[in-house]
Amino acid sequence: MGQLRIFAGGLCSALALSVPVPARAFTVAIAAGSQEIYLQVGVGGFSGTYIAGGTPGNNATINNVSVTVATTTVGNGTALAMATDSSVGASSYDGYVFCTPNVQLYIGGFYRRPGNGNTTATITATVPAALVDAAGDKISFAEISWTTGGNGDAGAEPFPAGTFVAGGSQVVGTMAHNTWNESCWTFSYKNSAVPPQGSYAGQVVYTMTAP
Amino acid sequence: MSRRRTPAPRPLRPIAAALLLACALTARSATTAIDDGATIVYTPTVTMGWQSRSPRAHSSTLMAGTTPVRVRLNVSPWLHRNGRIYLVLPAQQPGPIRASWTTQGRLLPGTLVSGTRALVYSGPITTPVMEDLIQLAIAVDGRQMDRVYNIDFRFEMDSN
């Protein structure tokens, strides 16, 4: 019995030693941040790069994609590569040289929507029926196509290859929420039409829509 | 002449022996939460930014944020003893969490995931307060970030 009393005393000592100081913890609150979308077609308005803390902004520049068709080859059905006046090659995400300037048109951006909703933003092209010259002559926008890709790229492109739907609205890409997406487009002119000589132009508007 | 008999020692009952053994083990390697009440989180609410290892991979749901933390640990109860200090990140909402940190040298840098702990110091406790400025980075799955979450950390001491 005497031994048990000694044990009891030892147990109390052990308990006293196990709580010598007030235990604390520190807390860091994390917030998802606000919803944001950013779309860049050609020259964009990003200051710096995203991973370096850059911020998106507006840029009113409208880039051109163009080709000159020689008189002797007009309408021969041989597609012609189109050049762009966009000198953007670097990704606004990290500065990686992704596209070939003046050859490929950079298209990229992000859709940020924190939360567990599995949502997708859609990028739509609103396409006129035709390119028009000063005399009112027309070339269907369906004559223009694009391929897609980028330096060091792999897997499916967020902005796949396609052909303009003349006079329509078409989806040209999607972005899953909380992802950066980018592709490089190389345009070509189908050259199947035989229009009067002239300078033909038309403007496609790209719109990003997020839920 | 009367003689007083001294009873022979009896063996301890099994339960008492087991408790004694438990106490002995506890005394040998005790784990105790450290008082870090003087620790300062310089960005109490960290706005997370999503990140991708490469946008060319076209898939990323990781969100990350950082904050400096002035760690001040009251280790006076272990002064002049040897100890091992761990940073603990309990399992908690919003799900799997990865934390990594750099230090000024008093503590060890490291990485851990929620539900585990990582060693930040091992050796003699020579001062009543251990202090370091760490840069703490937290990463979570952005799909789970539907509100503000309080991420709890604590420091533990394993001492002999």
Q: Identify the structural domains of chain B with CATH numbers, from first to last.
A: 30-52+61-159 (2.60.40)
CA distance A72 to A70: 5
CA distance A178 to B52: 9
When the pLDDT of each residue in chain B is averaged and rounded to a whole number, the result is 82
pLDDT for position A180: 84
Q: Which residues of B are less than 8 Å from A110 in CB distance?
A: 50
What is the mean pLDDT of the segment spanning B128-150?
Answer: 91
- Is A22 inside any structural domain? no
Number of A to B CB contacts under 8 A, please give it.
Answer: 161
CB contact under 8 A, B142 and A24: no
Q: Give residue-wise pLDDT tens across range A114-154.
A: 665 678 899 999 999 999 999 999 999 999 999 999 998 87
Q: Which A residues in the span 162-191 are in contact with B, Cβ-Cβ below 8 Å?
A: 176-182
CB contact under 8 A, B63 and A155: no
Residue A170 lies in domain? 33-209
What is the mean pLDDT of the segment spanning A10-24?
Answer: 45
| Nearest residue in B to A53, CA atom | B49
What single DSSP character describes residue A177?
Answer: T
When the pLDDT of each residue in chain A is averaged and rounded to a whole number, the result is 86
What is the mean pLDDT of the segment spanning B44-67?
Answer: 72
User: Of A5-9, A56-60, B16-20, B78-82, which gets the smallest average pLDDT?
Assistant: A5-9
Q: Is A78 on the interface with B (CB under 8 A)?
A: no
What is the mean pLDDT of the segment spanning B6-14?
Answer: 43
CA distance A127 to A205: 7
The pLDDT confidence band at residue B56, using thresholds 50, 70 and 90, is: low
- Is A6 inside any structural domain? no
Residue B46 above 80 pLDDT?
yes
| Nearest residue in A to B159, CA atom | A18
- Is A138 inside any structural domain? yes
Q: Give residue-wise pLDDT tens across range A43-59.
A: 999 888 887 878 889 99
- Is A38 inside any structural domain? yes
CA distance A46 to A33: 19
pTM: 0.64
- Is A154 inside any structural domain? yes
- Is A115 inside any structural domain? yes
pLDDT for position B16: 44
Residue B10 above 50 pLDDT?
no
**ipTM of this complex:** 0.79
- Is A24 inside any structural domain? no
Q: Which residues of B are less than 8 Å from A114 in CB distance?
A: 48, 63, 142, 145-146
Q: Which residues contact B21 (CB under 8 A, 6 or more apart)?
A: none
Q: Checking DSSP bridges between strand A83-84 and strand A26-31, what pairing results, if any? A: unpaired
Torsion of CA A135, A137, A141, A144, to 10 degrees: -90
B48 vs A7, A32, A182: nearest CB? A32
Q: Is A18 on the interface with B (CB under 8 A)?
A: yes
pLDDT for position A42: 96
> For residue A18, which phi and psi values (nearest 5 degrees)?
-80, -15
- Is A3 inside any structural domain? no
Q: Which residue has the higher pLDDT, A48 or A69?
A: A69
Q: What is the number of domains present in chain A?
A: 1
CA distance A112 to B60: 11
The pLDDT confidence band at residue A23, using thresholds 50, 70 and 90, is: low
Residue A176 above 90 pLDDT?
no
What is the mean pLDDT of the segment spanning B132-137?
Answer: 98
Residue A14 above 70 pLDDT?
no
CA distance A107 to A161: 12
CA distance A145 to A165: 10
pLDDT for position A116: 58
pLDDT for position A177: 76
Residue B19 above 90 pLDDT?
no
Give, in order, the Cα–Cα distances in Å from A22 to each of A16, B73, B81, B128, B158.
13, 12, 19, 15, 16
